[in-house]
Amino acid sequence: MDLRQWWVDLVAAPRTDATERLWAAVRAEHPGFIEAVVADARMAARQRGDRSEYRSQLDATLQVVRLALVADAFLAQCCYRAKAACQARRIPFLPRLLHRAAIVLGQIAIGDPVVMEAGVHIPHGQVCIDGVTRIAAGAVIRPFVSIGLVAGEFQGPTIGPRVQIGSGASVLGPIDLGPGAQVGAGAVVTSDVPEGVIVVGVPARPLELGRA
């Protein structure tokens, strides 16, 4: 489901009804906790050059625990996954504690309207994601990255599969990053990036390979 289209369709609806329908759509889109954590662990292991195929449920559990101990931001990412799972079940209060735990443990702040598919890699902290934002499987989000809103908007970016976002980059507003797109370190992206394109600079523009 396209959460951005949900938002566009709902802006004309009564405020209370629109809000409730939006949150219901977000909750329905969250992957299951175990599915998401195991997929995140496989993604993290591949990025680290570790073994990413698990022989059993016990093996998967042990590898998740190992990554939570040795990978800088993985435990915080697990806290986000637990928060999303609690919100999907309408469990009160606990999501706020888990959100704070993710910030304290890994400096990762992921807002309630964000939907992050299973299998996303955040290698280090100092990451902020907010707004009606969707991040597809295979994305890699490096440290000091902001993904979210521009003034006057509640819609955030849609990050496609296998997108790479470099350290210190900002991806802002209701834009699309196509599959396999790459955002250079420190870039500020405020417009769509087509599939497979590399963008750099402030404001971000496509990198012209082969030119000095």
Q: Does residue 189 lie within any of the structural domains?
A: yes
Relative to beta strand 164-165, strand 155-159 is unpaired
Cα 107 to Cα 128: distance, rounded to the nearest angstrom: 8
Cα 135 to Cα 140: distance, rounded to the nearest angstrom: 10
So what's the pLDDT on residue 212? 43
Q: Does residue 207 lie within any of the structural domains?
A: yes
Domain count, the chain: 1
Cα 59 to Cα 21: distance, rounded to the nearest angstrom: 39
Q: Does residue 99 lie within any of the structural domains?
A: no
* Distance (Å) of CA 171 to CA 9, 130, 196: 24, 11, 16
Q: Does residue 152 lie within any of the structural domains?
A: yes
So what's the pLDDT on residue 9? 57
CATH number of the CATH domain containing 177? 2.160.10.10
Copy the structure tokens of residue 110.
Answer: 């992921």
Q: Which domain holds residue 166?
A: 126-212
- Overall residue count recorded for the chain in this entry: 212
* Distance (Å) of CA 208 to CA 42, 142, 197, 212: 33, 23, 10, 9
Work out the number of other CB atoms within 10 angstroms of the CB of residue 133.
24
Which strands make up the sheet holding 182-183, listed edge to edge?
A: 140-141, 164-165, 182-183, 198-200, 205-206
Bridge partner list, 188? 170
Q: Does residue 115 lie within any of the structural domains?
A: no
So what's the pLDDT on residue 207? 86
Task: For the chain, 212 residues long, give each residue's pLDDT as a single digit of tens.
Answer: 555 655 555 555 555 666 777 788 888 889 999 999 999 999 999 999 999 899 899 999 999 999 999 998 999 999 999 999 999 999 999 999 999 999 999 999 999 999 999 999 999 999 999 999 999 999 999 999 999 998 877 889 999 999 999 999 999 999 999 999 999 999 999 999 999 999 999 999 998 765 54
Q: Does residue 204 lie within any of the structural domains?
A: yes
- The one-letter amino acid code at 47 reads Q
Q: Does residue 78 lie within any of the structural domains?
A: no
Contacts of 198 (CB under 8 A, 6+ apart): 181, 182, 183, 184, 206, 207, 209
Q: Does residue 47 lie within any of the structural domains?
A: no
Work out the number of other CB atoms within 10 angstroms of the CB of residue 153.
14
So what's the pLDDT on residue 126? 94
